[in-house]
Structure 1
């Protein structure tokens, strides 16, 4: 990632008649950045990607590519390529011919197109399949061919519209690391669209979380996960406990909060949340632990409801006294050091220092 701005979106809006699919959005994407647009179906992420590609008109606002305004530029004149969810390979052409296609469309000699296609197939480790047809390859191999074909014309920006969603889980996980490595090797700006938060967290330099046509938060994976701005981001990214609290006092930049049932919690104060505010606090399950006795840190009394084995973790559900239910996760590697309490056992839910995060609802 460099300081050069590859894509600059300035108050871009997209309307379809009376429906506003994308509210005014502004963001800058750096050259050589792996940037992800993350959100549920219908949030506007693919609409924004298609506006950058030129497949959708910009209703209001502007989009700049390396300083040049491209809103009125047709798709074929933009130095941008797209990898689609369904790969869109030509079934009658060989793998080599598929990858050569974009270079030949630029008017380059066949020999140059063939050499470039060979380089890209080597990059995605498919040189040995150059003379096969797409139908003779697996889904993961077809995905890599589509990537090679999009990279061959040397675009300044590569757009990826949920390219891994059709793959099975293990292949999808493997392809995440391959995509990130290819992005590093080529130095091309990748803009990746997904609804899968794990994909976004593991691959991205920065993430733009979107919902209902609006940008909810922009930051790196740790910022988004550890310091969510609002309830949507906290709940959408990973798993969390959302507790309704009222802010009773603020001392030394710490907020003292009241939870139903007489429980008191403290956490870092947040701008725009003052004394008397009724808001939500986010507590990640892995930042909590159980004990027989209250600790010197935050402790909430409750009763074990259920233990659920989920492979890497034990997920424990606890019902607080006169309060809500909470989820606590204990790593299987900690089972020898941490007691697993049986259902019905009175316990205390303890918080790690800094675990609580107040949310601007």
Structure 2
């Protein structure tokens, strides 16, 4: 994947978008780098597609600036912005074959028939559809139609490609295959991709960096590893993958460390997110970082309430002394001893795995 360095391709500076009294985006600032696969991730209605449409020019911003390689494009109409968009619905022309679909935008830009046809051939080869050049859209699978839409968007060689949940109409296995193709395509073209999704697995597997968005605000920006391993707040920890959120009493914060009291009374030092404070707080610890142990001397003890077999793993759900629930994800192997329902077990965390969050 591309490295998040170098020139800033898209600079989103304090952008707010209002629809009457409703704030869809609130003072959003992001710097998206040249040749970066950047993902806007969040639940439905969080503002991620609105932000993409503002970059494309389909929505006006209420305040702030959007710069493309240093030039303010906030007042430019969509057709004057050197960006292209791939939508959820591919919107291919059913009466045109694949080549003519890809040529369409080039012809509208004033390219000659010969030049447009030659460029269409190049991008169809890039997306591995050369043998389907003369087929009609109805003769293609969903994945092939998606690649035609990509080829059409890439044909004018945009500086930035915007992708609005383009995989959502595909079935799971096809979606997984196309993720890899998209990642490879971004690498081969060197074009900055800005990808919108609500699917955390898509974001984690494809992106150089991710911006997690909720209620029109950026919650955290970082690599997939940063977002997963070091979430800043409860929303990010809970939205990205699975996590246990444990109520704790925080005695003090010293630098990036916190001294906490766990349910049951054990005092425990752990990493703290920037902005965490003393008083009541929440620890986040991923299920795969929770290990089963002898109750004597363990950080926590719990009673097994449910066992869920998942093939390679077993989810062990437990209830703590204060009534909270916690889950451990244990790999199934001949060396693993799985407790029974109703057993009392000890729980330990991997070093550095528990993190005090900002509420």
| Fold shared, TM-score > 0.5 on shorter chain | yes
Q: 1:267 deviation in Å?
A: 0.7
1:289 to 272, 288, 291: 291
Instruction: Indicate how the Cα distance of structure 1 residues 150 and 252 shifts in structure 2: closer, same or farther if over 3 A, else same.
Output: closer
Q: 1:158 deviation in Å?
A: 0.2
Matched residue, 1:108: 111
CA distance in 1, matches of 2:6, 2:76: 25
Aligned length: 356
Matched residue, 1:306: 306
1:32 aligns with 2:35: yes
CA distance in 1, matches of 2:88, 2:275: 40
CA distance in 2, matches of 1:251, 1:111: 67
Cα-to-partner distance string for 1:328-357 (whole Å, 9 max, x where unaligned): 10123xx22221111111110111111110
1:63 aligns with 2:58: no
Where do residues 148-163 of structure 1 align in structure 2 (5 Å cutoff)? 148-163=151-166
Matched residue, 1:215: 218
Cα-to-partner distance string for 1:147-194 (whole Å, 9 max, x where unaligned): 011001100000000000010001001111100000000000000000
1:84 to 73, 84, 87: 87
Matched residue, 2:145: 142
CA distance in 2, matches of 1:269, 1:134: 53
Q: 1:244 deviation in Å?
A: 1.1
Q: 1:247 deviation in Å?
A: 0.9
CA distance in 2, matches of 1:223, 1:270: 12
Q: 1:253 deviation in Å?
A: 5.5
User: Structure 2: which 5+ residue stretches go unaligned?
Assistant: none
Q: 1:293 deviation in Å?
A: 4.1
CA distance in 2, matches of 1:253, 1:81: 42
TM-score in terms of structure 1 length: 0.95
Matched residue, 1:327: 327
For the aligned residue pairs, the C-alpha RMSD in angstroms reads 1.4
Q: 1:100 deviation in Å?
A: 1.0
Matched residue, 1:359: 357
- Residue 264 of structure 2 contacts residue 300 of structure 2 at CA under 8 Å; is this kept in 1? no
CA distance in 2, matches of 1:226, 1:171: 28
Cα-to-partner distance string for 1:16-60 (whole Å, 9 max, x where unaligned): 111111101111111100000000011000000000000000111
- Residue 56 of structure 2 contacts residue 78 of structure 2 at CA under 8 Å; is this kept in 1? yes
Q: 1:279 deviation in Å?
A: 1.0
CA distance in 1, matches of 2:257, 2:102: 57
Instruction: Indicate how the Cα distance of structure 1 residues 154 and 252 shifts in structure 2: closer, same or farther if over 3 A, else same.
Output: closer
Q: 1:270 deviation in Å?
A: 4.1
Matched residue, 1:318: 318
Secondary structure of 2:74's counterpart equals coil
1:170 aligns with 2:173: yes
Q: 1:294 deviation in Å?
A: 4.0
Deviation beyond 6 Å, 4+ runs, structure 1? none
CA distance in 2, matches of 1:93, 1:252: 62
Instruction: Indicate how the Cα distance of structure 1 residues 352 and 90 shifts in structure 2: closer, same or farther if over 3 A, else same.
Output: same
Matched residue, 1:348: 346
Instruction: Indicate how the Cα distance of structure 1 residues 130 and 252 shifts in structure 2: closer, same or farther if over 3 A, else same.
Output: closer
Secondary structure of 2:250's counterpart equals strand
2:186 to 158, 183, 197: 183
- Residue 319 of structure 1 contacts residue 326 of structure 1 at CA under 8 Å; is this kept in 2? yes
- Residue 230 of structure 2 contacts residue 273 of structure 2 at CA under 8 Å; is this kept in 1? no
- Residue 243 of structure 1 contacts residue 324 of structure 1 at CA under 8 Å; is this kept in 2? yes
Secondary structure of 1:315's counterpart equals strand
CA distance in 1, matches of 2:17, 2:177: 35
Cα-to-partner distance string for 1:256-309 (whole Å, 9 max, x where unaligned): 21133334332124443344x2111101000011123445xx521111111101
- Residue 232 of structure 2 contacts residue 274 of structure 2 at CA under 8 Å; is this kept in 1? no
2:335 to 318, 334, 337: 337
Cα-to-partner distance string for 1:98-157 (whole Å, 9 max, x where unaligned): 111111121111111111111111111111111111111010110011001100110000
Instruction: Indicate how the Cα distance of structure 1 residues 292 and 38 shifts in structure 2: closer, same or farther if over 3 A, else same.
Output: same
